[in-house]
Chains A and B, each alone.
Chain A
Amino acid sequence: MGISPVLWQFLVKWLTNSALFPPEASTVAPWMDSLYFFLLGMTATGLLLVGAIITIFSLRYRRSVHPVATQIEGSTLLEATWTIIPLGIFLVAFVWGALLYFRIYNPPVNSMNIYIVGKQWMWKAEHPGGQHEINALHVPTGQPVQLTMISQDVFHSFSIPAFRIKREVIPGRYSTVWFEATTPGEYHLFCTQYCGTNHSQMIGTITVLSPDDYKKWTEESTSGMSLAQNGERLFASMGCNACHSGNAAARGPSLAGVYGSTLQLTNGSQVQVNDAYLRDAILNPSEHVTAGYAPIMPTYQGQISEDGLIDLVEYLKTLHTNYRVQQTLTTPEADQASPPRSGAVKP
C-alpha cells in the first residue's frame, strides 16, 4: 500500500476508538479497508461533483438572473466522458474487489482447519484436537486458519467484522473461509443471515491469543478425544470397517491415504477427494462409486449428524495406514497414544 504504515495505524486507531470503525485484527483487514477508503473517496468525489454542478448551475442560472433558457440538445463528447470515466473507475473497483475476493476465499496451503457447525441458534466450533466451543472460537495469531462450515438446518452466515470475513453457512454442503489473526483480543462473531426467531442471539466471541497462550488453551480445554479419534470410533460403530477393512478382497476400497488423492469412479469420471467429497460419499454413496467396486454401500443420510460427519472426515484425513483400525478395536482407551497432530490441509 502506498500509505505509510505509521499513518495508516494512526488513522485506523483513531477511527476505531471513535467507535465508527471496526478494529483491524486480521491480515486481510487492511486490504479491505484500503478498498473501502478508495470507494469512499469515489463516492465523496461523485457526490461533490454532482452537488457542485447542481449548486453552481442553480445559482448561476436561476430565473431571477437568467430569465431565458438556451436550448441545448446535448454533447456527444460529454456523454462519452461521463460514460467512460465512471466505467473506468467502476472497473478499477471490480478488479480490486475481485482480487480481494479470491484472496479471502482461497486459503493458503498451511492453514489450520477448524470446523464450524451452525444450527438454530448457536455456533459449534470443533478443533481437530477435540476442543469443542459453543458461540466462541479461540485462534492463535500468525497462523492461517481455515474454517470449514456447514449448517444443520437453514442458511446462516458466519461473520467476524474485525477480520473482515464472512461466509454463508449452508445446509447440505461445506463452505470455507480463511483468516490469519494479527492482534490478540476479543471480537464479535455474528450470524448475519436471517435464520428465524433467535437470529440476533446467534452471536459469540472470537478470542485471539498469542501462539503460546493458544497452546496453553488447547491443552487446558481438550475434551480428551480429538475429532479424528471420535471419527475412528464412529468408523467402527457404524460398521464402516466391515467393508473398508483395507484387505485386498474387501467389498469396499481402502481409505488409507484417500484424502487428497484423485479417484477414478465407475462412471468414468475422476474426482479430487476433499472434505466435501467425503461427506457426500457417505450420504450419497451410489453416486460416488470407486471404479472396480459394486454400488452396495448403504446411505447414512439421516443416521449421522453433521458433527459425526466432521469426525469421520477428520479421521479419514489422517488415515495413512489401516494398521490403526485394528489397534483401536482392541486397545482400551486409556492406552491410546496422544492425539494425532491437528489436521493440516494436505496439498
Chain B
Amino acid sequence: MDNATATTEPVMEHEAHEHVYVPQHRHHFETEEQQREAGSFGMWLFLLTEIMFFGGLFFAYLLYRNWYYDAFVAASNTLNIGMGAANTAILITSGFFMALAVWAAEVRKKRVLVWTLIFTTLFGLAFLGVKYFEYKEKYELHHIPGASFDVSQFINPPIDAKTGKPVGNPLPPDVAEHTQIFFFLYFAMTGMHALHMIIGIGLLFWLLGRAQRGDFSAGYVAPIENFGLYWHFVDIVWLFLFPLLYLINRHPLAH
C-alpha cells in the first residue's frame, strides 16, 4: 500500500471505503482489495511450492529416462493410451467448468455457480474412476513395483491377436529390470497427482456447500478464484504427466 496521504487515517474507516464491504472481510486487512490480493498472491506462492514438490519427481524422471530409454519406451507403451487420453479430455473439461464457475461467481449467478461446480466435481470424480481402472489393470499385469513385479512380458512380449506380431520388441533381462523404475515413477507421479485431485474434490464439496448457501454470490469470490487456480494447476501437472508417461515413442499409426 503506497502512502497516499500524510495524515493519520480516521479511526472509523469502514464507511470511507468505496469498495463493497463484504461480511467475510477479515479485520487484519485494511481493505477488501488488500484481502483479495493477499489471498491470490498466497495461492500463487503455494502453487510455486507445488511445482518444486513435483519438480523433484520430474528430475528423477529426466535422469532415468535418459539412462534407460529402451526400458522406458517398452514400459510406457504398455500404458493404456486410450484411458490416458480420455482422462486428459476429462480433466480439461473439468477445468473448463471450473473456469465457468469463477465467472459465475464474479457475475453473481448462484445457480450457474453451483451447477458448474457440480460438473467440475463430477468430471474430477470421473478422472479418478478411470485412474482406478488403470491401476487395476496394472495390478493384474503385475506392473506394480515391489515384490509382485513381473518383467516376463517385457522379455517375451505376447503376440498381438490382430496382427500376429509381438506387441513390442523383446528386451534383454537386465534392461527389462529397469522397467520397474519407470513404473515406480509412474505410480509416484500419477499417485501424487491423484492425491492432489482427491484433496481438490474434497475442497470442491466444501465449496459447493457454501456456494449453495450463497456465500459466493454477493461479491466475495476469493475462495472460488483461488481454488480455481489450484484446480488449473492440478490440470497442468496432468498435461505434463500424460505425454511424459504415456507417449514415449508411440507410433499409433504405424501398426
Contact = CB atoms under 8 A, between A and B. Distances in A.
A and B touch in the complex (CB under 8 A): yes
Interface of A: 283-287, 295-296, 298-299, 301
Contacts of B173: 298-299
A176 B174 CA distance: 26
B155 to A, nearest CB: 11
A154 B177 CA distance: 21
A301 B172 CA distance: 13
B207 interface: no
B175 interface: yes
Interface in B137-185: 171-175, 177
15 contacts: A283-B174, A284-B174, A285-B172, A286-B171, A286-B172, A286-B174, A286-B175, A287-B174, A287-B175, A295-B172, A296-B172, A298-B172, A298-B173, A299-B173, A299-B174
Contacts, number: 20
Decide if the interface of chain B is mainly helix, strand, loop or mixed: helix
A286 B74 CA distance: 15
A318 B175 CA distance: 29
Nearest to B68: A287
Interface residues of B, number: 6
B64 to A, nearest CB: 13
Interface string B222-235: 00000000000000
Q: Is the interface of A mostly helix, strand, loop or mixed?
A: loop
Nearest to A297: B172
Contacts of A296: 172
Contacts of A298: 172-173
Contacts of B171: 286
Best-surrounded residue of B171, B172, B173, B175 (most CB of chain A within 10 A): B172
B172 to A, nearest CB: 4
Nearest to A300: B174
Contacts of B177: 301
A48 B177 CA distance: 60
Nearest to B176: A286
A298 B175 CA distance: 11
Contacts of A284: 174-175
A225 B175 CA distance: 35
Contacts of B172: 285-286, 295-296, 298-299
A284 B172 CA distance: 9
Nearest to A285: B174
Nearest to B171: A286
Contacts of A285: 172, 174
A295 B70 CA distance: 13
B51 to A, nearest CB: 30
A290 to B, nearest CB: 14
A60 to B, nearest CB: 39
A295 B172 CA distance: 8
Contacts of A299: 172-174
B98 to A, nearest CB: 45
Contacts of A295: 172
A298 B171 CA distance: 11
B71 to A, nearest CB: 10
A287 B171 CA distance: 11
A301 B174 CA distance: 8
B158 to A, nearest CB: 21
A296 B170 CA distance: 11
B40 to A, nearest CB: 37
A127 B175 CA distance: 33
Contacts of A287: 174-175
Nearest to B67: A287
Nearest to A283: B174
B157 to A, nearest CB: 15
Interface string B86-112: 000000000000000000000000000
Interface string B189-219: 0000000000000000000000000000000
A239 B172 CA distance: 18
A162 to B, nearest CB: 38
When A and B form their complex, which 5 residue pairs have the shortest distance between CB atoms, in order from nearest? Answer: A299-B174, A286-B172, A286-B175, A284-B174, A286-B174
Nearest to A299: B174
Contacts of B175: 284, 286-287
B151 to A, nearest CB: 12
A287 B177 CA distance: 12
B174 to A, nearest CB: 4
A301 B171 CA distance: 16
B114 to A, nearest CB: 57
Given A287-B174, A299-B173, 4 more contacts: A285-B172, A286-B174, A286-B175, A301-B177
